[in-house]
């Protein structure tokens, strides 16, 4: 059965991914495509509807992102949002002009009865505006659907051609009834059934993987994180023992993590897992290095070298499996070329040697993070693994400020273990984005018993976030912080002072390095 989908032409809005998410939440499959996609390409797998996203450009700018005019002749509904509205109006014979007043933020909008987009909504409600230009004359055949104080054409429509355009952003939480507006477009205008389910997606994806891989074998770098773990289980479901997973133990993992990964994937899930114990190799390469960027590059280089050495053992492997997810795919579009750059595959394991010429297989490249977790639940994976907090690729190497040594790693592992044990006792633990310990290159005087100490300082960092682009520090209860501090100082020999990081992002970053 053909999956109904909505194609979203990406004009560079910071909210484009939100549009895709809102649509999927309504159980309709959505796909973000480059704005310069041709009508012929869209016709190959005709979408149920098309959305033109917002964007930072002005339609008057030289080289401003455009559209193939033949898209308006495909016979499918089109919804233009903000820049998309201006572009649609310009191409269909209307006029756009720079606004005398830039309209940004929450605005009260008044609807005019008769627009399918606003069915079931009140006459007046708050929407989120973000535009400088505005439509000065609507194209022939269009009618006004809504107005605001500074925008006489806040929404317009051409019902005969099923073209709709709005000057506000329905995808953001600041717009009241935004999800219902998107739902009206999907179900009333486009005739979507709302029957896209992850269970069906899993069956379809397993079928596609079998067709793509055939009788060949796949090697996959397993980090123990959510994305690579779900990708591994999905590939295992498709090809069984022809999947070979490589887990690189770089010595910079959390306490006992190598053992946990081996137990989970080898013993419980039955995957063909090969563990490369390379801690001493990484410690040697990092000796004497304090600069954060140099540390990251060294860790990345050594990871590729170790992975490549292990991968060469599987001479029959033609494919490289990766846990690439949809935001990776979207964000790998080059920023320097703007939204016109064709979306490319995001390589999680880049820079492999020439003799390792793998073909990529990325089973999760159509899914957002929450959808990846949902797939994992359907596949029966442990909740503890699926709800795991983000962990940086360089591991504890960026949570030890200054030179990384084996002794410091073991010290931080023990401190972080106490932090993890205590934070998990909170009833709202699963709502916290990330909590961890950081070892600072600072020693201070302390008193333990009757003796003077001169030991390291540990920082505790905890943040709440949605996408890691911004973050606010978590208001952990004082009693929990007190327990963490007492346990670290009393139980971890080498640390005599604990501080709590109360900086948000921006201006600080989540990780200290």
What amino acid positions are annotated as catalytic residues?
82, 169, 171
**Tally of CB atoms within 10 A around 158:** 18
- For residue 280, which phi and psi values (nearest 5 degrees)? -65, -30
Is the bond into 271 cis (omega within 30 degrees of 0)? no
- 433 and 464 Cβ atoms separated by less than 8 Å: yes
List beta partners, residue 351. Answer: none
What are the structure tokens assigned to 171, written together? 């995808």
- Residue located via tokens 């984005």: 433
- Residue located via tokens 């591994």: 232
Distance CA 417, CA 115 (A): 57
Nearest alpha-carbon partner for 239 in 260, 212, 257: 212
- 388 and 226 Cβ atoms separated by less than 8 Å: yes
Task: Return the sign of the alpha-carbon dihedral for residues 23, 27, 28, 33.
Answer: positive
Give the single-character DSSP code of 428. T
What are the structure tokens assigned to 382, written together? 């442990």
Distance CA 24, CA 147 (A): 29
Distance CA 7, CA 20 (A): 9
């Amino acid at each position: 059965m053909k999956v109904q989908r909505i194609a979203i032409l990406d004009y560079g809005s910071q909210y484009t991914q939100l549009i895709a998410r809102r649509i999927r939440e309504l159980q309709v499959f959505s796909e973000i495509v480059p704005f310069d996609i041709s009508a012929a390409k869209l016709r190959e797998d005709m979408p149920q509807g098309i959305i033109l996203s917002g964007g930072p450009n002005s339609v008057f700018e030289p080289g401003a992102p455009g559209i193939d005019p033949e898209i308006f002749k495909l016979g499918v509904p089109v919804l233009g949002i903000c820049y998309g509205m201006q572009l649609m109006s310009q191409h269909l014979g209307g006029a756009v002009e720079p606004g005398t007043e830039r309209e940004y933020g929450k605005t009260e909008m008044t609807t005019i009865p008769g627009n399918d987009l606003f069915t079931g909504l009140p006459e007046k409600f708050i929407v989120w505006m973000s535009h400088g230009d505005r439509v000065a004359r609507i194209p022939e055949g269009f009618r006004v659907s809504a107005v605001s104080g500074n925008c006489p054409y806040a929404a317009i429509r051409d019902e005969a051609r099923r073209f709709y355009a709005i000057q506000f952003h329905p995808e953001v939480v600041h717009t009241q009834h935004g999800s219902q507006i998107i739902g009206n477009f999907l179900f009333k205008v486009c005739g979507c059934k709302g029957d896209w389910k992850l269970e069906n997606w899993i069956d379809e994806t397993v079928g596609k993987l079998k067709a793509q891989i055939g009788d060949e074998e796949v090697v996959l770098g397993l980090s123990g994180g959510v994305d690579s773990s779900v990708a591994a289980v999905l590939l295992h479901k498709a090809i069984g023992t022809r999947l070979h997973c490589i887990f690189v133990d770089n010595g910079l993992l959390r306490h006992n993590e190598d053992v946990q990964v081996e137990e989970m994937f080898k013993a419980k899930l039955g995957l063909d897992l090969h563990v490369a114990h390379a801690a001493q190799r990484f410690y040697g390469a990092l000796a004497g290095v304090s600069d954060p960027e140099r540390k990251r590059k060294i860790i990345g280089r050594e990871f590729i070298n170790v992975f490549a050495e292990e991968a060469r053992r599987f001479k029959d492997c033609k494919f490289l499996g990766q846990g690439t997810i949809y935001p990776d795919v979207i964000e790998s579009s080059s920023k320097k070329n703007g939204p016109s750059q064709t979306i490319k595959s995001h390589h999680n394991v880049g820079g492999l040697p020439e003799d390792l010429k793998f073909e990529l297989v990325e089973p999760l490249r159509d899914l957002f993070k929450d959808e990846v977790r949902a797939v994992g639940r359907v596949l029966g994976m442990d909740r503890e693994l699926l709800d795991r907090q983000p962990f940086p690729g360089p591991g504890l190497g960026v949570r030890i400020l200054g030179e990384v040594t084996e002794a410091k790693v073991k010290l931080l592992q023990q401190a972080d273990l106490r932090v993890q044990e205590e934070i998990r006792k909170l009833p709202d633990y699963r709502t916290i984005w990330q909590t961890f310990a950081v070892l600072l290159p600072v020693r201070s005087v302390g008193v333990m018993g009757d003796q003077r100490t001169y030991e390291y300082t540990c920082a505790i960092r905890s943040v709440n976030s949605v996408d890691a682009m911004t973050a606010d520090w978590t208001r952990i209860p004082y009693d929990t912080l007190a327990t963490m501090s007492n346990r670290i100082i009393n139980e971890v020999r080498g640390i005599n002072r604990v501080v709590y990081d109360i900086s948000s992002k921006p201006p600080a970053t989540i990780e200290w390095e």
